[in-house]
Amino acid sequence: MATLLESVRFSQQLVLFAPQAVPVHLHVQGLIPMLYSRQPSLRYLAVSTLHHLIERDPAAMIDENIEENLFSMLDEETDSETAMLVRATIIRLLYTSCPVCPSRWLAVLRNIVLATSIRRNTGEVLSCFGHNPPDSTSENDVYYGEDEDNMISSSKQQQIRCAGSISSQFPPRNKHLRYRTRVFAAECVSHVPIAVGAEPAHFDLLLARSAISQGTYLSNDWLVLKLQELVSLSYQISTGQFEGMQPIGVKLLCLIMDKFGKAVDPEFPGHILLEQFQAQLVSAVRMAISTASGPLLLEAGLELATRVMTSSIIGGDRLALSRLFSLITRPLSDIEGLLYPSFADWVVCKIKVRLLTAHAAVKCNTYQFLRMRENAPNEYQQLAPSLVNSSTLLGKYWIRALKDYVSISFGLHSKINYKPFLDGIQSLLVLSKVQRYLDEVWLLILKATALDAAPLDFDENNPKNLLEQTFISGHCMVKLDRTEFQFLWGLSILVLFHSCQSMKNNSLKINLDFKQDKNFGEFIVHGLDDKRPCDQVLRVLSSLTTEVFFSNNFISVDICQQLLQALTYADCSSAPIIHLFTQRDLRELVMLPADKLREAPPQLVGYSRRSQPPLPLFAQLSHKMPPVANATHLLRIVCL
């Protein structure tokens, strides 16, 4: 044994300090048998040397095909430190070789993940690994236990095929692969769409076919050519029998939508490739968002539902859109009492934020089409009444979540008995887990709250044609009392001030860095891809300055003066500002002479434009410093 240790150490020294002395293939041939040694130190040293080989000569290691050998070792390894190194080595090899051979990795990982699936011919799968098919494939037969310390469950220096052989197999055993091995293999599958790199041909079928026909690349193994296998495997993971693997599969489907969401289908112009997988995606959402789902699966399911509903995958399918909306609406009734005693508080907070974000994204995406009026797709026109039914409850939750976000952004501590909507958000631990998600979605929630909002006393029994003129959807959505309106207004004005570089307050922790590579959703909703954050807030202010708020005395001269002061200093594009001032009541207020401004009544509807246009009010205010403290003070009042 000492001789073997010295031999492996010597090989490691050659790899590190004389990499050209011995061919990589000879190193691998000598190291593979050491992976199954009974000595933990020898196994660790062998894996460590293979890891160094992958780092030093990745091109040569790609052809060695040692993936299954490493998974075989991991399946039997009992030493935690060695197992951690094996996992790191597999991940390193995955990112090294996946760009040129993704199909090989999919085949290997598929066999491991589905090795004991009751939906698959278990004997056939296990035989390809050198296993004898068991008599039963029941879930109860799966081994979940741990081996004794420093023992290998069934290895006895079995003869391993040459590492260079493409069909390298697991040493034969008389039991299933371990659960932990399959879970790690599922995690590796979720790395594949990222590990292939940024080469566009991996995600575009037209480019992949062009590369193959032109012979531009040595390897023509493109991931998009295996998209059906990837989606199928992800779906099987998400709907499999093991709960611990289901969230991995659902999140992988989300990643697939992110990577292939814009890939066109050359066979059907005007359509995308993922449309053909609508059934699997909708089925995965339906399975994930159920009363029996655990918190991790529910969170992943809500993200997938959001992506599907805000994409063109279900384009034209009114029934599928209606079913998905019904699925994300069910948890709303239990959102306040949501509790998972076995999980940390931040898990519940993330689910609440994910649920509110799903509804906000669907509403904003629906309004993108409703603005098209007569050209709006029928499925989104018919979704508007469903949005009305849930908006009353959603509006309260959205505002409470925004208040929680403002409270943690300002570091406010209420002296009254204020109960946060996000339980435990004032805890540093919960805050550290949840804040980055709130940073990414709070503006989306703000926009959704303001869309077709109206005062609390607004009469919905008005004629239909009047409602259609007043609201984009023809329906009143969220109803706001005066305090809630002031909160939304103050938050929007504060963002306008804060978006100006010269006015930024370092003590303010509201995130204004709206990038498209988000960790929480990564979906793109119309109006949230603007480069300037204040352009997005202007859309909110446009919703809050409609005629219904003027006629109900929600908007006063002082509030409009504050808005004009903010616009004087904000870094905004001209188009949103023009749209804001095309609204009749605000336009008429702007055209009032400065000396008449204080005489204007709170109810501004009915005033006509002056025959001689006076000097605009914002020109009168251009020399003043914007009262950012006023907006800050307003937010403090309405939050506490």
Over residues 97-132, the pLDDT tens digits come to 999 999 999 999 999 999 843 333 333 333 333 334
What number of other Cβ atoms are within 10 A of residue 131's Cβ?
Answer: 21
CA distances from 503 to 408, 441, 507, 574 (A): 21, 23, 12, 20
CA separation for the pair 637, 640 (Å, rounded) = 6
What is the per-residue pLDDT for 634?
Answer: 47
Both tokens of 527, joined, read 């109006």
What is the per-residue pLDDT for 493?
Answer: 85
139 CB-contact burial (10 Å; exposed 0-12 / middle 13-18 / buried 19+): exposed
CA distances from 154 to 35, 37, 72, 144, 157 (A): 13, 11, 11, 15, 10
Pair 19, 52: CB distance under 8 Å: no
What is the per-residue pLDDT for 88?
Answer: 97
Considering the domain boundaries, does residue 435 fall inside one? yes
Pair 571, 612: CB distance under 8 Å: no
Considering the domain boundaries, does residue 533 fall inside one? yes
The answer to whether the Cα torsion of 327, 251, 396, 559 is positive or negative is negative
> What's at 279, amino acid-wise?
A
What is the per-residue pLDDT for 117?
Answer: 39
**Residue corresponding to tokens 């204080």:** 598
What is the per-residue pLDDT for 238?
Answer: 95
Percent of the chain with pLDDT over 70: 73
CB under 8 Å to 124, separation ≥6 — which residues?
A: 133
User: Degrees (nearest 5) of the Cα angle 488, 470, 548?
Assistant: 50
CA separation for the pair 321, 385 (Å, rounded) = 13
Question: Domain total for the chain?
Answer: 1
Considering the domain boundaries, does residue 199 fall inside one? no
Considering the domain boundaries, does residue 632 fall inside one? yes
Considering the domain boundaries, does residue 17 fall inside one? no
What is the per-residue pLDDT for 112?
Answer: 95
Considering the domain boundaries, does residue 144 fall inside one? no
What is the per-residue pLDDT for 20?
Answer: 82
For 570-574, the CB contacts below 8 A with 24+ separation are: 570/496, 570/497, 570/499, 570/500, 570/534, 571/499, 571/500, 571/501, 571/532, 571/534, 572/496, 572/499, 572/532, 572/534, 572/535, 572/538, 573/530, 573/532, 573/535
What is the per-residue pLDDT for 408?
Answer: 84
Pair 249, 235: CB distance under 8 Å: yes
- The boundaries of the domain holding residue 573 are 392-639
CA separation for the pair 558, 598 (Å, rounded) = 9
272 — phi, psi (to 5°)?
-110, 160
Please state whether the predicted TM-score (pTM) of the whole model is above 0.85: no
Over residues 84-97, the pLDDT tens digits come to 999 999 999 999 99
Considering the domain boundaries, does residue 580 fall inside one? yes
What is the per-residue pLDDT for 3?
Answer: 80
Considering the domain boundaries, does residue 131 fall inside one? no
Q: Name the nearest CA neighbour of 384 among 480, 472, 282.
A: 472
User: Degrees (nearest 5) of the Cα angle 382, 384, 388?
Assistant: 135
CA separation for the pair 398, 310 (Å, rounded) = 19
Over residues 434-458, the pLDDT tens digits come to 888 898 899 999 999 999 999 998 8
Pair 537, 492: CB distance under 8 Å: yes
Instruction: Please identify every stretch of the chain with a pLDDT value under 50, giving residue numbers as ranges.
Output: 116-174, 502-504, 514-530, 592-598, 600-629, 631, 633-635, 637-638, 640
What is the per-residue pLDDT for 326?
Answer: 93
CA separation for the pair 192, 257 (Å, rounded) = 14
Pair 451, 543: CB distance under 8 Å: yes
